[in-house]
Structure 1
Amino acid sequence: MFEFHGDRKRYFDIQVANAEQYVIPFIEESFPIKPGTRVLEIGCGEGGVLKAFINRGCTGVGVELYEERVLNGMQWLKEDLEKGSIRFVTKDIYKADVEQDLGGSFDIIVLKDVIEHIHDQPRLIGWMKTFLSPGGKIFFGFPPWQMPFGGHQQMCINKVLSKLPWYHLLPTPIYRFLLNRFSPAAEESLLEIKETGISIERFERIVKQQGYAITHKTFYLLNPIYKWKFGWEGIKQLPVIKSIPYVRNFVTTCVYYLISAN
C-alpha cells in the first residue's frame, strides 16, 4: 500500500501512469488525441496528468493555486518546460485570462480529483466554455460524495478514522466532533470537502443546466488509482448498479466523464 500524500514525487509518477493507462484511453474512446492537441489541466498539482499528454505529443498548460506543487513540477518537468511543451500558471482559475495567461483556447480541459473541492461548481463548469476550442471536450474524474471514502477521510492521522468508511455522511455536528476529538489537523479540510462533495446526480444536473452534453462516461466499482495504492486493478461498475440513481453513489468509487458544449 502506498500513502499518497507522503511522497509527492511518487504521487507524480502514479498520476502519469494512471493517466496513460486509464484517463487517455477513456478520452480516446470518443475523442482522438493527436500531436499538437492543446490541453489545460485545472488543479494540476505537480503536473503528473499533463505529463502523460505531453508524452503523446500534446502541449499543456497547468493551473495550480499552490506554488510549492508548481515548483516541484517545474523541477520534475524541466526538459518539457525548456522545450515549450508545458508551462505552469500559479493562479486562481477564476482570475486567469484565457489569452494573456493561458495562451488561447484548448482542445481538452482536464479536472481530475478537483471538482469535488470546488465551492461554486456551476460557475466553474459554465465558465469553462470560454476556454474551449470548437468541438473541444472537458474531462472530469472524481469520487462520488457518498462513496465509502468520499469524504477523503484517509487524510486523518488517526488510524481508525482514516480507514472507517461512510462516517463522513454523519450529520455535520457529529462529524465535526469526531474530527476535532481524534484528528484535529484534518478537521478544517475535511469539513470543507463535506460542503463541496458532489454526487453523480448533482454533477449531471449541473452539466445539463450549464449547456453541455455528456459525450462519454464510465463508472468504477474500484477506482483505477487503487492499482497503485492497494495493488487492485480498476474494475468497472456493474451495469445494473450504475443504472440505479442515488444508490450507485454509495458503491461507485470513481466516475469518469467527457462533456462538450452544446
Structure 2
Amino acid sequence: MLERGCSATGIELNKLKFEFATENISIHINSGRATLINKNVYEEEALATLKEKFDLIVLKDVIEHIPNQEKFIPYIKQFLKPSGRIFFGFPPWYMPHGGHQQICESKWLGFLPYFHLLPISLYRAVLKIFGEHEGTIHELLEIKETGISIERFERIVVDSNYEIEKKQPYLINPIYEDKFGWKPRKQFSFVNKIPFLRNFITTCVYYVIRKK
C-alpha cells in the first residue's frame, strides 16, 4: 500500500520488532508516508495519536496473539473513520498448526498437526521432552491462551456492534504460496456451513468488518 502512495501508521509493542520494522521501511518513514509507534495501544499517548484516523485497519496474523479479544476488538473501533473498515486474517485455533508449533526447534514437532490441542500440562511436558527452550515454550503457551476460533471471533464482532461485510475462509492459506509454493484454495462451501468442525480444516479466514 505504501508503494501505491497510501500513508500508513503501524503500532508495535515489542521493541526488537519495532526496530526491525523501522529499518525495513525506513525509506517510507523518511518520505513521511509511514509512521511507527512503539507504544501499547491502550496508552493515552497512543490513543491521542490514533483516534478517528484510519480508512483501513489491517490485523493480519495478529488477533490470535492478543489477550482479551473481547476488550480489544470493540476498543479499536474508535480509531476508524466513520466509513472505515477493519481487515482481519487469522488461523483458527483448532486448525492443524493453529498453535504456531512451526516455531519449534524440533522439526518433528514443527510438522506435527493438532498436538497444540493437548491439555496445557501435557502440552508443556511434550515440549520439554523434545528439548524446546523455555522461551519457546512460554511463547507457545501464550498462544494457547489467546488462540481464537471462527465462532468466537464472529460472536465478539457481533457483540461489539460491528457487521461482517466480507468473509473468506481458506482450505489452503494464501501465505502458503510464498512459504511452500502451494496455490491458495478457498474452503469448500459445505465445510463453511459446519460449525466448530470447520475450524479443524480451515487454515485461515479473512474478514472485512465495519461499524454498524
Tell me if 1:259 matches 2:209: yes
Quote the offset at 1:73 in angstroms: 2.2
The DSSP-based 3-state class of the residue aligned with 1:176 is: helix
User: Which residue is equivalent to 1:94?
Assistant: 42
Structure 2 partner of 1:47: none
Q: Give the Å deviation of 1:69.
A: 2.1
Moved more, 111-120 or 184-193: 184-193
Tell me the residue number matched to 1:112: 60
1:6-51 Cα distance to aligned partner (Å, 9 max, x none)? xxxxxxxxxxxxxxxxxxxxxxxxxxxxxxxxxxxxxxxxxxxxxx
The TM-score with structure 1 as length reference comes to 0.77
Paired position in structure 2 for 1:214: 164
**Contact between 2:51 and 2:78, CA under 8 Å: does it hold in 1?**
no
- Give the AA of the match of 1:189: E
Matches within 5 A, 1:20-169: 53-97=1-45, 100-102=48-50, 104-169=52-117
- Separation in structure 1 between the aligned mates of residue 146 and residue 122 of structure 2, nearest angstrom: 18
Residue type matched to 1:139 in 2? F
Tell me the distance in 1 between the aligned counterparts of 2:57 and 2:196.
Answer: 27
Q: Distance in 2 between matches of 1:233 and 1:55?
A: 25
Cα shift readout 1:76-131 (whole Å, capped 9, x = no counterpart): 22221111100100011111546633375211111111100111101110111110
Within the candidate set 245, 250, 256, 2:195 is matched to 245
Whole-angstrom CA distance in 2 between matches of 1:201 and 1:82: 42
Tell me which moved more, 247-256 or 53-62: 53-62
The residue type equivalent to 2:107 in the other structure is K
Percent sequence identity is: 49
Q: Which runs of 5+ in 1 are unaligned?
A: 1-52
The CA deviation at 1:70 is: 2.2
Contact kept? 2:88, 2:206, Cα under 8 Å: yes
2:145 and 2:23 map into 1 onto residues whose CA distance is 34
In 2, the alpha carbon distance for the partners of 1:96 and 1:140 equals 24
Q: Is the 8 A contact 2:39 2:46 kept in 1?
A: no
| Contact 1:98–1:131 (Cα < 8 Å) also in 2 | no
Higher mean alpha-carbon deviation, 178-187 vs 93-102, is at 93-102
Superposed displacement of residue 261, structure 1? 1.1
Q: CA deviation at 1:179?
A: 1.2
* Matched letter for residue 240 of structure 1: F
CA deviation string 1:208-235 (max 9, x = no partner): 0011000001001011110111110111
Q: Which runs of 5+ in 2 are unaligned?
A: none
Runs of 4+ in 1 over 3 A off after TM superposition: 96-100
Give the structure-2-normalised TM-score: 0.94
Distance 1:205 1:104, change over 3 A: closer
The answer to which structure, 1 or 2, has the higher relative contact order (CA under 8 A, 6+ apart) is 2
Q: Secondary structure at the match of 1:93?
A: coil
> For the structure 1 residues 86 and 103, does the alpha-carbon distance in structure 2 shift closer, same or farther, using more than 3 Å as the test?
farther
The answer to whether the 8 Å contact 1:98/1:104 transfers is: no
- The residue that corresponds to 1:184 in the other structure is 133
Q: Which amino acid aligns with 2:57?
A: I
Give the Cα separation in 2 of the matches to 1:179 and 1:240: 36
One-letter code aligned to 2:190 = V
Q: How many residues align?
A: 210
